Amino acid sequence: MKVLLKVPCKRLKKAFLLPVFLFLLFCGKALVLAQANTAEPVLTRIAEHLSLFEFDEAIALFNTISPSERESSNIKLLEASVLSSAGRYAEAMAIVQAISEKEPNNTEAIFVLATIEGAQGRNRQQREALERLINMEPDNTAARIALGNLHLSARSLRAAAVNYRHVITKEPENTDALLGMARLLRLNQEWDDAEVFFDMVVRLNPDMPEARSERARFYRIRGRLNEALADLNEAKRLLPMDYWIAIDRGNIFLDMGLKPQALAEFNRAVEINPQEFLAYVFTSGLKDDLDDLDGAERDYIVLTRLRPDYHYALEGLGLHRMRNGRWAEARETFLEAHRRAPDEYHYALLAGICWIRTGDLTGARAFLRQAQNIVTRDSLEWHMFRLYYDLTVRTFVGENDMVIRLDQEQDLELKARMMFYMAMYYDTRANNNLANRYLLLVSEMDRRAIPEWRLNRWLLAARGLQGF
């Protein structure tokens, strides 16, 4: 029996059950077990559990196969593939290595080994296994496509093309090879040829969700949003519980300016896989934009749990806590963001501001004295740190100097950011008129990409001021 498993799609980061799943569902001819016909019903049930992401149940079913059948290399390799899909790599590897020791020329074992290495992100080992297999079987279609995909992910376009073309020459209607070539041409911006290949794949296999979603990405790059959405709608119909199809549909709605529809689709992605962080990046930002501020804060909290190294989530959470006057919580959040991204000076500055607002001037002073060293001495940012440091000792001699420096600054983004901190400085000193003036100046500059923009907008709304 040939164990033909599709190579894991790189975008399905944790869902590397896809190779096994598609093998069991669509490669029925490979399930013709000459000496193990009684195992076929069990394999069908395994496929059903995998389609529901039920790894433990699928693995347990191997124990119900008769000992004589289960010891066959074919069944053991399939079990190894399922274990790999469940993330149990050591067990999977042990099975494959045992088979390889007894059968060093077992190409199916080498391919499963390559799949396991790929699932762990061990690209060099995966490539070496595939190249060894191809040296033994130059026309091994699955290995050629897998190696082509691996080269494509590494942007080795010529090497990828060699493998795709080898397959296409022998199997002109192999949709996996055609799709790989289409993706390669898209990456190389050969738009007309890429479209020909995408159209060919969809024509040959109209019920292939990946073909629809990949062509949709091509359409999106080309600005053909309605066609992209049509393909993604069809992909969703074919594979309604696919996380990445939901993400792609959300992005198309964003491109169309349809924020509520985009949010609904990203929320659907969260429902599909609440442990994948990317959808929360979109939902938190969209909820901010749509003024669901409590909802945004909840999503930022989830993001900080799922991806502690993602400092932008800490930034968003800190700004929300600052907006609500939760100064101690905001300080701790910005301090953690500063630890994660020490080169982002604004986290330290925001932490210092919140520290002052807690009333602990001694702690704030010690922190700001150290934190100002992360920016270039005598820069505008350095003088802003110094202004807040002086505030902790009730010294205000630097105000006029900072006003002059701000007026002379030519970098408009930096100027907008420093004006925001000037507004916060006057707000800390309870000078509402000057604080409001600088908040409005920031709004007029319309620098929406700066991190401080959201807090500036919230403060204007809270004060009943009409910003830009």
| Tokens read off for 141 | 């279609």
Is it the case that residue 334 has pLDDT exceeding 90? Answer: yes
108, 137, 166 — which closes off a domain? 137
Q: Could you tell me the pLDDT band of residue 318, with boundaries at 50, 70 and 90?
A: very high
pLDDT of residue 12: 33
Q: List the domain range (segments joined by +) for residue 62.
A: 1-137
pLDDT of residue 35: 41
Buried b (16+ CB within 10 A) or exposed e, 243-264: bbbbbbbbbbbbeeeeeeebbb
Percent of the chain with pLDDT over 90: 78
Total tally of structural domains belonging to the chain? 2
CATH code of residue 74: 1.25.40.10
**8 Å CB contact between 409 and 402:** no
Residue-wise pLDDT tens digits, 29-41: 334 343 445 677 8
Alpha helices in 103-242 (DSSP H): 107-119, 123-136, 141-153, 157-170, 175-187, 191-204, 209-221, 225-238
> DSSP labels for 323-390?
HTT-HHHHHHHHHHHHHH-TT-HHHHHHHHHHHHHTT-HHHHHHHHHHHGGGS-TTSHHHHHHHHHHH
Query: Is residue 338 included in any domain, yes or no?
Result: yes
Query: Is residue 95 included in any domain, yes or no?
Result: yes
pLDDT of residue 68: 81
Q: Which amino acid appears at position 222 of this protein?
A: R
Helices 278-289, 243-255: axis angle to 10 degrees equals 30
pLDDT of residue 14: 35
Q: Could you tell me the pLDDT band of residue 9, with boundaries at 50, 70 and 90?
A: very low
Query: Is residue 280 included in any domain, yes or no?
Result: no
Q: Could you tell me the pLDDT band of residue 468, with boundaries at 50, 70 and 90?
A: low
pLDDT of residue 467: 64
137, 163, 195 — which closes off a domain? 137
Going by C-alpha positions, the residue among 301, 299, 370 that lies closest to residue 333 is: 301
Query: Is residue 299 included in any domain, yes or no?
Result: no
Is it the case that residue 80 has pLDDT exceeding 50? Answer: yes
Residue-wise pLDDT tens digits, 403-452: 999 999 999 999 999 999 999 999 999 999 999 999 999 999 999 999 99
Torsion of CA 452, 306, 276, 247, to 10 degrees: 0
Is it the case that residue 205 has pLDDT exceeding 90? Answer: yes
Q: What is the mean pLDDT of the chain?
A: 89
Minimum mean pLDDT among 12-21, 95-104, 187-196, 293-302: which range?
12-21
Query: Is residue 269 included in any domain, yes or no?
Result: no
Q: Could you tell me the pLDDT band of residue 22, with boundaries at 50, 70 and 90?
A: very low
Question: What does DSSP assign to residue 394?
Answer: T
pLDDT of residue 17: 38
pLDDT of residue 52: 75
pLDDT of residue 37: 56
Distance CA 210, CA 85 (A): 19
Query: Is residue 160 included in any domain, yes or no?
Result: no
**8 Å CB contact between 450 and 416:** yes
408 or 10, higher pLDDT: 408
Q: Which amino acid appears at position 48 of this protein?
A: E
Going by C-alpha positions, the residue among 241, 286, 346 that lies closest to residue 21 is: 241
Query: Is residue 349 included in any domain, yes or no?
Result: yes
3-state secondary structure of 151: helix
pLDDT of residue 27: 37
Distance CA 120, CA 258 (A): 37
Q: Could you tell me the pLDDT band of residue 99, with boundaries at 50, 70 and 90?
A: very high
121, 137, 153 — which closes off a domain? 137
Mean local confidence (pLDDT), 218-235:
98
Query: Is residue 456 included in any domain, yes or no?
Result: yes
Residues 6+ apart with CB under 8 A from 235: 209, 210, 212, 213, 216, 242, 245
